[in-house]
Amino acid sequence: MAGALAARDDQEFQPDRGAGMEIAIVGAGAVGATAAYELARRGADVTVYDRGSVASGASGRAAGVCYDAVATEPAASLAREAIERFRTLSGPDTFAFQDCPYVWLAREGDERHAEAIESGLDRMADHGLPARQIEPSALGDRFPALRVDNVAVAGVTTGAGYADPGAYTACLAENAAAEGASLETDTLVAVGVDPPRVLPQDGPPREVDAVLVAAGARSKRLLADAGVSIAMKPYRVQALITAADVSEPMWYDATAGCYARPHPDGLLAGDGTERAEADPETYDRDASPGFAASLSDRLTHRLPALQPDVERAWAGLCTATPDRQPLVGQLREGLSLATGFQGQGFMRAPATGRRIADQLLGGPGIDAFRPARFSGDESFAVREGMSVADED
């Protein structure tokens, strides 16, 4: 697998653009590993630190759902770019990305979500995304396993698919190492600013040209210890895998607040957001009592032939921001951030990691996502990341 990505990646780049730069990345998840690969192949001296192993945090517990069904810019362009990169980089010698249609729908009587889906589809068309509205009868004809008699509005996109987040992240980390990056896993570090530096718990401080904090839910505390506040809150989500024989589509029922996708072991499904800030050190990594039964009821509502036989269930962490848009870019000179993805960090990783790497090497950032748009002292509620409508 090592070096295989470079052979697949025909994207134009300047191989020596990062020569002479020393960059430390804190967090070996999907975004951090992608940024490390992009930086190392451009000649930067990159070291990735993680308190655990590669993909041992949120990336390893992510659902792996990927889609371009996004109604606003610049998120729509990033979503399209990410899907294209997944397709380009995947293969038998790297990681598997399985194309699969993605459907999102609202039930009859749910006017708020129905209107939001219709409005969103119009805006997606304006952005040139391959998403369209589909009549419930046509939806049932195309995907016979789905119950459609109570569907009010549905959209479908072919710009979608799924992947194993752990496999993707391991592949990017291994290829980053093949390009010269150093991986310092099982290593606790703190971050220093002015000058930018990392402070390993069991080693001497190291000054670098730039530090990228991509530590997911732990980013807030890591930066707080350095005297830097960010407007982000970790929140808990849950998922399960149940036996099933469903090859497509992936779907999100906005009214029921749940999603599902095919999985090698059957069906992977989840239900979004617990609307409270969670502690990344102490949160319950097991599914809550009653979660599996509740979600199974909602799954069988949409897939009547399903006979749930839950194989395993778990909880992970996502990260919220005041406007439900990520914090990606420079916080201050020498210190950059990538977090706050509202549950969409993995699906955007191929694009986000490349963009933040480009900015670290002097390229433009994503102005709408710049972390400094917030002071870090904002009071805000945790809101659903997958929702198609504004939440109260």
Domain ranges of the chain: 4-62+165-232+322-373, 99-161+234-318
* Tokens 């000179």 -> residue: 333
- Spell out where the chain has E strands: 22-26, 45-49, 65-67, 97-99, 102-107, 131-133, 151-157, 160-163, 182-184, 189-192, 197-200, 206-207, 210-213, 233-242, 250-253, 258-263, 266-270, 310-320, 327-332, 335-339
* Cα distance between residue 109 and residue 107, in whole Å: 6
* Cα distance between residue 252 and residue 260, in whole Å: 7
Please choose, from the candidates 58, 70, 389, 356, the residue with its C-alpha nearest in 3D space to the C-alpha of residue 234.
Answer: 58
| Mean predicted confidence (pLDDT) in 95-121 | 96
pLDDT reading at 189 higher than 70: yes
Q: For residue 253, what pLDDT band results from cuts at 50, 70 and 90?
A: very high
* Cα distance between residue 330 and residue 282, in whole Å: 29
Q: Which residue has the higher pLDDT, 387 or 391?
A: 387
| Mean predicted confidence (pLDDT) in 234-262 | 95
- Provide long-range contacts, Cβ within 8 A and 24+ apart, for 37-40: 37/5, 37/172, 37/173, 37/175, 37/176, 37/179, 37/181, 37/353, 38/353, 38/354, 38/357, 38/358, 39/176, 39/181, 39/357, 39/360, 39/361, 40/176, 40/177, 40/179, 40/180, 40/181
* Cα distance between residue 221 and residue 338, in whole Å: 14
User: What mean pLDDT, rounded, does the chain reach?
Assistant: 93
Q: Where are the alpha helices (DSSP H) in 74-208?
A: 75-89, 111-126, 136-142, 165-178
In the chain, the amino acid numbered 371 is P
Q: Which CATH architecture has domain 4-62+165-232+322-373?
A: 3-Layer(bba) Sandwich (3.50)
Backbone angles phi, psi at 221, to 5 degrees: -70, -35
| Mean predicted confidence (pLDDT) in 134-144 | 97
* Cα distance between residue 31 and residue 172, in whole Å: 9
In the chain, the amino acid numbered 367 is D
pLDDT reading at 69 higher than 70: yes
pLDDT digits (tens, 9 = 90+) for 110-136: 999 999 999 999 999 998 889 999 999
| Mean predicted confidence (pLDDT) in 220-243 | 96
CA torsion, points 170, 175, 179, 183, in degrees to nearest 10?
10
Give pLDDT, residue 222: 97
* Tokens 């001497």 -> residue: 204
Three-class SS string for 58-87?
A: HHHHCCCEEECCCCCCCHHHHHHHHHHHHH
Give pLDDT, residue 1: 66
| Mean predicted confidence (pLDDT) in 278-285 | 96
Backbone angles phi, psi at 75, to 5 degrees: -60, -35
Q: For residue 389, what pLDDT band results from cuts at 50, 70 and 90?
A: low
The verdict on domain 99-161+234-318 having CATH code 3.30.9.10 is yes
Query: What are the structure tokens assigned to 361, written together?
Result: 């090497």
Q: For residue 14, what pLDDT band results from cuts at 50, 70 and 90?
A: low
pLDDT reading at 12 higher than 90: no
CA torsion, points 219, 32, 127, 118, in degrees to nearest 10?
-50
Sign of CA dihedral 167, 351, 128, 13: negative
Give pLDDT, residue 334: 96
Please choose, from the candidates 54, 37, 354, the residue with its C-alpha nearest in 3D space to the C-alpha of residue 181.
Answer: 37
Give pLDDT, residue 208: 97
pLDDT digits (tens, 9 = 90+) for 317-355: 999 999 999 999 999 999 999 999 999 999 999 999 999
In the chain, the amino acid numbered 21 is M
* Cα distance between residue 315 and residue 287, in whole Å: 5
pLDDT reading at 172 higher than 80: yes
Q: For residue 19, what pLDDT band results from cuts at 50, 70 and 90?
A: confident
| Mean predicted confidence (pLDDT) in 8-36 | 85
| Mean predicted confidence (pLDDT) in 86-91 | 96
Q: For residue 16, what pLDDT band results from cuts at 50, 70 and 90?
A: confident
Give pLDDT, residue 383: 85
| Mean predicted confidence (pLDDT) in 350-377 | 95
| Mean predicted confidence (pLDDT) in 11-28 | 82
Q: For residue 392, what pLDDT band results from cuts at 50, 70 and 90?
A: very low
| Mean predicted confidence (pLDDT) in 83-96 | 96
User: In the chain, pLDDT over 70 holds for what percent of residues?
Assistant: 96
What value does the CA radius of gyration of the chain take, rounded to a whole number of Å?
Answer: 20
Please choose, from the candidates 93, 96, 84, the residue with its C-alpha nearest in 3D space to the C-alpha of residue 10.
Answer: 84
